[in-house]
Structure 1
Amino acid sequence: MRRSVPLIALSLVALAACDQPAAGDPVIRTDISGEKGVEIARAEQAEAKPSASPTPTPTPSETTAPEDSACQPVRFEDVVFTECVADPAKHRVAMVLGNPPYRSLAKYSVSRPKDAPRVAFAMNAGMYDGEGKPIGYYVQNKDRLQELNRNEGSGNFHLKPNGVFYGTGSTWRIRTTDDFYHTVGDRPDFGTQSGPMLLIEGKVHPEISADGPSKRIRNGVGIDKDGKAHFVISSRPVSFGQFARFFRDVAKTPNALYLDGTVSSLWDPARGRMDTRADLGPLVVVEFKE
């Protein structure tokens, strides 16, 4: 289920499931299975019965990593997460959308030229509208297709601070939207805006509760002190709080950004994993430097 992005802020406590918008209407991509917005501290006492969420394709092995695999399963607080690490020394990062948008990792995979660099892994990355087009800042191959979105609104994307994952060459960064607006002058090679931020300078987003009632399969990205990008997806529904703690305590990324929930998908060629959701938006693709 999708949410329209309003022009003015709405009360978070009034968030509820809404009807499918017409094609092209902006939506918040975190309410597909009945999620009632972000779990925040004041919502801890609210009654919530999360609807069933589809589980991603399991990794073939949780013990032996295939050669050249950038992804590995990690158990944290009784949940297995898949952590895929992009290393600037070995990988390049690019955003991919398609015209019209691919909407699935499988469709994108078959569109790649046979002589294209090998894919280390790919994920969905960023909020989008009913047609799969980004609703926030989006840069692909240095071409800006969508401007920075600083509007107020409801839903996870607008829970400030949200942020931008971007990079040029082998330098990748995550900044809050306001920080990006005030400090980044040159257009990067790639960029995608999403929200909320999970970690800000090592601290969990102030509006995220420790373990709220809303549980979803989630994916996100964080940058560690060595400049590596950690892309993480949960194997089963988790709260925002638990997801943020993974980045803080396991990935050890001072800044981390939520990418999406419920539709969260991963393509990991080395392990033979191809999640099959067909309603995605922007994709982030990590390739080997060869």
Structure 2
Amino acid sequence: MCAVTSKAKTAFVTIALIAIGGLSAQAEVTCSERSFDGLAYTACEVDPRVDELRLFLDAPSGEKYGQFSTIDGALANEGKTLIFGMNGGMYHNDRAPVGHYIEDGQEIMRVIPNAGPGNFGLLPNGVFCIQNDRADVIETLTYDAARPDCRFATQSGPMLVIDGELHPRFLKDSTSRYIRNGVGTSEDGVRVVFVISDQSVTFHEFGRIFRDDLGVPNALFLDGSVSRLHAPQLNRSDFGRWLGPIVGVVAPLGR
């Protein structure tokens, strides 16, 4: 009788538990508080191959969703819930997206390729593109030339990390500090990391957590003064000013 290795035993037990319903093979959003360079952040990781990652803008009523609770209320009617949420890009006073925006394959706002005032216009900026089995942060001009088949997309700026390099305009000795949030993606598009700072940080510091701590080659700033997070697993759901685009992960109720 041949010996069974420890690794083989572990694999057998895992398969058996899944078979009898003791474990779920479906991945979940994982949120955690973390520190980098003495600064406090909260990071949430998503796998777009198994998690229903999407954008929200207009509610069935025709009004903008605006709050995580509004989305959750609408999803409850479908037997679903919001297990993660974050503001998903800059918006005008009427809460319409400032830049490119796609929802369920429909383009709501065109690509804005040129420089302009404010953080959005601090080129290079970028697009967060969600496809069926991956998600990517892509520099805007590269995105505009390639036009990937995004089911959802939101344009924001500036880019935080571009092919492993910090945005060239970021200053190490900057004194401009705000609460900030953003998203980074792996090269293969299967690791998506959303981060919000839990204290005021500079762009240089914020870019470094994506590049040097989380190890993602591309990352995009989503906003500053309105940065908010919905993370029920941390008993956290920020409330404040009404939002424009919101990015989130949807799951069946009871998951």
Separation in 1, partners of 2:117, 2:101: 20
- Alpha-carbon offset, residue 110 of structure 1: 2.3
What does 1:199-210 align with in structure 2 at a 5 Å threshold? 199-210=161-172
Query: TM-score, normalising length from structure 2?
Result: 0.82
- Alpha-carbon offset, residue 95 of structure 1: 0.6
* Partner-residue secondary structure (3-state), 2:124: coil
Question: Per-residue CA shift, 1:117-157, capped at 9, x if unaligned?
Answer: 34331100111100111011101111111111123311100
Question: Per-residue CA shift, 1:264-286, capped at 9, x if unaligned?
Answer: 00001222211001321100011
Partner of 2:18: none
Question: Per-residue CA shift, 1:164-216, capped at 9, x if unaligned?
Answer: 000211111111110001112x5410000000000000000000111411111
Question: Which segments of structure 1 move beyond 6 Å, counting only runs of 4 or more?
Answer: none
CA, structure 1 residues 270+69, in 2 after alignment: closer, same or farther (shift >3 Å)?
farther
CA contact (8 A) 2:49 2:134 kept: no
Separation in 2, partners of 1:108, 1:236: 26
Given the alignment, which residue of 35, 46, 64 partners 1:75? 35
Unmatched 5+ stretches in structure 1: 1-66
* Partner-residue secondary structure (3-state), 2:226: coil
Separation in 2, partners of 1:285, 1:79: 25
What does 1:128-167 align with in structure 2 at a 5 Å threshold? 128-167=91-130
Q: Calculate percent identity across the aligned residue pairs.
A: 35
Query: TM-score, normalising length from structure 1?
Result: 0.73
Separation in 2, partners of 1:261, 1:116: 33
Greater CA deviation, 96-105 or 213-222?
96-105
Separation in 2, partners of 1:270, 1:225: 27
Separation in 2, partners of 1:92, 1:106: 18
CA contact (8 A) 2:29 2:51 kept: no
Given the alignment, which residue of 232, 246, 252 partners 1:283? 246
Separation in 2, partners of 1:229, 1:265: 17
* Partner-residue secondary structure (3-state), 2:54: strand
Separation in 1, partners of 2:120, 2:109: 15
Paired AA for residue 141 in structure 1: D
Given the alignment, which residue of 191, 207, 211 partners 2:153? 191
CA contact (8 A) 1:90 1:288 kept: no
- Alpha-carbon offset, residue 69 of structure 1: 5.5
Residue 138 of structure 2 is aligned to residue 175 of structure 1: yes
Separation in 1, partners of 2:87, 2:101: 13
Question: Per-residue CA shift, 1:216-273, capped at 9, x if unaligned?
Answer: 1100000024521000001011110100000011111100000000210000122221
Paired AA for residue 77 in structure 1: D
Q: Which has the larger radius of gyration?
A: 2
Separation in 2, partners of 1:152, 1:249: 28
Paired AA for residue 271 in structure 1: L
Unmatched 5+ stretches in structure 2: 1-26
CA, structure 1 residues 116+208, in 2 after alignment: closer, same or farther (shift >3 Å)?
farther
Residue 183 of structure 2 is aligned to residue 221 of structure 1: yes
CA, structure 1 residues 68+165, in 2 after alignment: closer, same or farther (shift >3 Å)?
closer
CA contact (8 A) 1:117 1:287 kept: yes
What does 1:31-50 align with in structure 2 at a 5 Å threshold? none
Separation in 1, partners of 2:237, 2:249: 15
Separation in 1, partners of 2:114, 2:37: 35
